[in-house]
């Protein structure tokens, strides 16, 4: 890509990052940022890293479907199972399980983007990070570390710079959350290649053991237990 085009692309992406911040994390603005990285060198590098993971190429080549959970069914699964805990989070916070922007999955970049987008809230459950802004940065750090997903790298860089310059009291908590997410990303098996749908009924703790999540964030100040007192034990 010619240097001038790269500069224009970087400016457009910076504008999207600023729009995310100004909107307070509006999902449409986040989706705009995510989509701005399609067909870019950054996404190509991300795809290469994903394909290099065990099972990554097979998952991508078969176009394993983006997550489309049946929340009512999952809520009926045994207490403490991955599906039940995920459904509990969605229902407790009154989230739309289909919050993500509909996208085609024809290209590798489109498919990976949609798979990452649709499984985002599930990563909160598995990692234990809350859905507060500080907790969000922690969970983003996992995928940013494991495959360098471009939008997540950009959002966390922007969050750190913004808090350091404008809200230094928040910077300590944000740094701790991101550091926790980075450590989890390095130490655990890739979340992005997990076939969650094939093990909804398994206990969340078993999933964590299989993935190597040895230090979940639940009880941290930026964890799910701390931010949602009514959360399942």
pLDDT per residue as tens digits for the range 107-162: 999 999 999 999 999 999 999 999 999 999 999 999 999 999 999 998 898 888 87
- Per-residue pLDDT for 14 more than 90? no
Residue 128 sits at φ, ψ, to 5 deg, of 90, 0
- Per-residue pLDDT for 171 more than 60? yes
DSSP character for 54?
T
- Per-residue pLDDT for 84 more than 80? yes
* Distance in angstroms (rounded) separating the CA atoms of residues 232 and 171: 29
DSSP secondary structure, 198-227, as one string:
G-TTSBHHHHHHHHT--S-STTSTTBHHHH
- Per-residue pLDDT for 220 more than 60? yes
User: Is residue 146 within 8 Å of 185, Cβ to Cβ?
Assistant: yes
Q: Give the residue among 139, 116, 143 at the shortest CA–CA distance from 129.
A: 139
* CB count in 10 Å sphere of residue 158: 17
* Distance in angstroms (rounded) separating the CA atoms of residues 194 and 122: 11
The structure's pTM equals 0.85
pLDDT > 90 in the chain, percent: 64
| Banded model confidence at residue 49, pLDDT cuts 50, 70, 90 | very high
Residue 148 sits at φ, ψ, to 5 deg, of 65, 40
Question: What six digits make up the tokens of 231?
Answer: 């959360």
* Distance in angstroms (rounded) separating the CA atoms of residues 154 and 213: 24
């Amino acid at each position: 890509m010619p240097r001038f085009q790269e500069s224009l692309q970087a400016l457009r992406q910076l504008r999207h990052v600023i729009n995310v911040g100004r909107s307070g994390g509006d999902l449409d603005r986040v989706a705009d940022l995510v989509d701005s990285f399609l067909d870019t060198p950054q996404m190509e590098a991300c795809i290469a890293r994903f394909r290099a993971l065990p099972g990554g190429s097979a998952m991508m080549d078969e176009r394993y479907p983006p997550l489309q959970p049946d929340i009512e069914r999952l809520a009926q699964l045994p207490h403490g199972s991955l599906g039940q805990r995920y459904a509990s989070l969605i229902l407790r916070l009154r989230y739309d399980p289909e919050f993500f922007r509909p996208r085609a999955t024809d290209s590798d970049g489109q498919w990976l983007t949609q798979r990452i987008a649709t499984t985002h809230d599930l990563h909160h459950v598995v990692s234990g990070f809350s859905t507060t802004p500080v907790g969000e940065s922690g969970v983003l750090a996992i995928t940013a570390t494991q495959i360098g997903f471009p939008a997540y790298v950009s959002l966390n860089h922007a969050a750190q710079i913004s808090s350091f310059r404008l809200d230094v009291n928040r910077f300590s908590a944000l740094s701790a959350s991101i550091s926790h997410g980075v450590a989890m990303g390095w130490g655990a098996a890739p979340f992005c290649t997990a076939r969650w749908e094939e093990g909804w009924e398994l206990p969340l703790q078993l999933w964590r053991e299989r993935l190597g999540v040895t230090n979940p964030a639940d009880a941290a100040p930026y964890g799910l237990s701390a931010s949602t007192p009514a959360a399942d034990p």
